[in-house]
DNA sequence: TGTTTATGCCGAC
DNA sequence: TCGGCCTAAACAC
């Protein structure tokens, strides 16, 4: 599930279910290899979540104290959250658990992660090597891009690769880059220095618009299309224009990039192919 | 039955 | 830049 929109949805979910919950501990599954020590100096605590691009910060705090600490988490390829009330069994492939009690009984908040690529660690803040959130910190995101795109040979690299760089485009992943490029009508195989400045502006705009759309549609349903639900007659499956629909190429990172077939015969694509 | 693919990231060369 | 980390669904035969 998880790119920017999905991480935002997960953090909303955590906040919604945690509102009247007092937590008293957490642990991980026996099979999880994450080494982070999950003991916490609070006997009872509250939890709030924030997302920034592809990270979630779980903030632990006590009502009566200013003291707080945060787990910075990434969701890998398959991380998602669910809650088990009372003695309802926790789902298969849940690897991180937060135990609490609410006015209506026990609650276990679970990070479900089939592939176990999700990670967590204690930290003061979100990772410094990841940029601002294109949706929640849009102006900072633009500023950060303007500063860093000029560095080294970054401005000569094909934008299809640059847009996956999380120090510039925190939260943009494989389906979002496809949908962003489709909507801005820019040849994704061109480099920053080959793209007109108004088109660059448009790319940055759509780095906010596309994740926001996906967020409002309830996030991407990519391998289980049937669960797709919609808003005003639109659902994710209709919103998705090229991902799994257009032409494809294996990019420099070995990931499938889906693009508008109109770029099929462009010289920039030819050049990109030759460079792989 | 075996092979390929998947919304991500990290560390070893 | 490449393999590794993981499981499971979708495909190929």
Per-residue pLDDT of chain A (276 residues; tens, 9 = 90+): 699 999 999 999 999 999 999 999 999 999 999 999 999 999 999 999 999 999 999 999 997 667 899 999 999 999 999 999 999 999 999 999 999 999 999 999 999 999 999 999 999 999 999 999 999 999 999 999 999 999 878 999 999 999 999 999 999 999 999 999 999 999 999 999 999 999 999 999 999 999 999 999 999 987 765 555 666 667 898 899 999 999 999 999 999 999 999 999 999 999 999 998
Positive or negative torsion for Cα A41, A47, A51, A52: negative
**For residues A7 and A51, what is the distance between their CA atoms, to the nearest angstrom?**
6
Protein CA at A189 to nucleotide C1' at B9, angstroms: 23
Please give the protein residue whose CA is closest to the C1' of the nucleotide B8: A76
User: What does DSSP say about strands A55-61 and A46-52: parallel, antiparallel, or unpaired?
Assistant: antiparallel
- How far apart CA A62 and CA A43 sit, in angstroms, is 9
Nucleic strand C under 7 Å from the C-beta of A115: yes
Report the C-alpha gap between A31 and A13 in whole angstroms: 25
Helix axis angle, A174-184 relative to A197-216, nearest 10°?
Answer: 130
Chain C positions with any atom < 7 A from a protein CB: 1-3, 5-10
Nearest nucleotide to A78 (CA to C1') is B7
Task: Name the residues contacting strand B (CB < 7 Å).
Answer: A 1-3, 6, 54, 74-77, 115, 117, 119, 127, 166, 173-175, 220-224, 253, 255-256
Rounded CA–C1' distance between A229 and C9, in angstroms: 21
A31 CA – C5 C1', rounded, Å: 13
Alpha helices by DSSP H, A3-132: 4-18
Nearest residue (Cα to C1') for C3?
A: A254
Helices A138-148 and A197-216, packing angle to 10 deg: 140
Q: Between the CA of residue A113 and those of A41, A74, A185, what are the distances in Å?
A: 27, 11, 35
Asked whether residue A28's C-beta has any atom of DNA/RNA strand C within 7 A, the reply is no
pTM tops 0.85, yes or no? yes
Q: In angstroms, what CA-CA distances link A158 with A142, A163, A172, A188, A193?
A: 19, 9, 16, 7, 9
* Alpha carbon of residue A18 to chain centroid: 21
Q: Looking at the C1' of nucleotide B9, which residue has the nearest alpha carbon?
A: A76
Q: Which residue has the tokens 């906010």?
A: A208
């Amino acid at each position: 599930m998880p790119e920017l929109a999905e991480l935002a949805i997960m953090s909303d979910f955590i906040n919604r279910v945690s509102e009247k919950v007092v937590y008293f501990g957490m642990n991980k599954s026996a099979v999880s290899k994450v080494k982070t020590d999950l003991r916490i100096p609070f006997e009872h605590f509250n939890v709030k979540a924030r997302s920034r691009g592809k990270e979630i910060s779980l903030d632990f705090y006590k009502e009566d104290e200013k003291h707080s600490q945060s787990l910075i988490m990434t969701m890998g390829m398959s991380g998602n959250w669910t809650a088990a009330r009372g003695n309802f069994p926790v789902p298969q492939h849940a690897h991180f658990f937060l135990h609490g009690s609410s006015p209506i009984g026990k609650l276990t908040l679970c990070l479900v992660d089939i592939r176990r690529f999700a990670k967590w660690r204690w930290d003061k803040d979100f990772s410094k090597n990841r940029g601002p959130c294109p949706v929640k910190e849009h102006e900072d995101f633009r500023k950060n891009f303007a500063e860093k795109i000029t560095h080294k040979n970054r401005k000569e690299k094909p934008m299809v690769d640059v847009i996956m760089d999380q120090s510039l485009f925190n939260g943009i992943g494989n389906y979002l880059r496809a949908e962003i490029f489709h909507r801005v009508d820019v040849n994704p195989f061109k480099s920053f220095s080959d793209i007109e400045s108004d088109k660059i502006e448009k790319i940055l705009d759509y780095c906010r618009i596309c994740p926001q759309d996906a967020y409002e549609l309830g996030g991407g349903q990519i391998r289980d299309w049937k669960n797709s639900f919609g808003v005003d007659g639109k659902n994710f499956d209709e919103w998705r224009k090229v991902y799994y629909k257009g032409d494809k190429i294996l990019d420099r990172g070995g990931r499938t990039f889906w693009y508008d077939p109109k770029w099929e015969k462009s010289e920039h694509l030819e050049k990109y192919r030759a460079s792989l």
